[in-house]
Amino acid sequence: MSDKIADRTPRILTPEERRARDAARRADAEQAMREYREAQRAFHANRERLRAERLAREAQKAQ
């Protein structure tokens, strides 16, 4: 039973592997933030479009 997780030693990364891992993580995070910002822009644009339509309908009903 020496194959337990607690018995395993962590793999030591070389400096090159560490830099590559960090660069990949940074790229993934930047991509996620770009996607998030784009989704937020789309959401707010749609909300403003719907609001304008609602206000136009309400104004038309009021007349």
Tokens (6 digits) for 41: 């822009």
The whole-angstrom separation of Cα 54 and Cα 47 is: 10
- State how far the alpha carbon of 14 is from the alpha carbons of 11, 28, 45, 50, in Å: 10, 21, 47, 54
Tokens (6 digits) for 44: 């707010």
The whole-angstrom separation of Cα 27 and Cα 29 is: 5
Domain boundaries, the chain: 13-62
The whole-model pTM stands at 0.68
pLDDT digits (tens), the chain, 63 positions: 556 766 777 889 999 999 999 999 999 999 999 999 999 999 999 999 999 999 999 999 998
Q: What are phi and psi of 22, to 5 degrees?
A: -65, -40
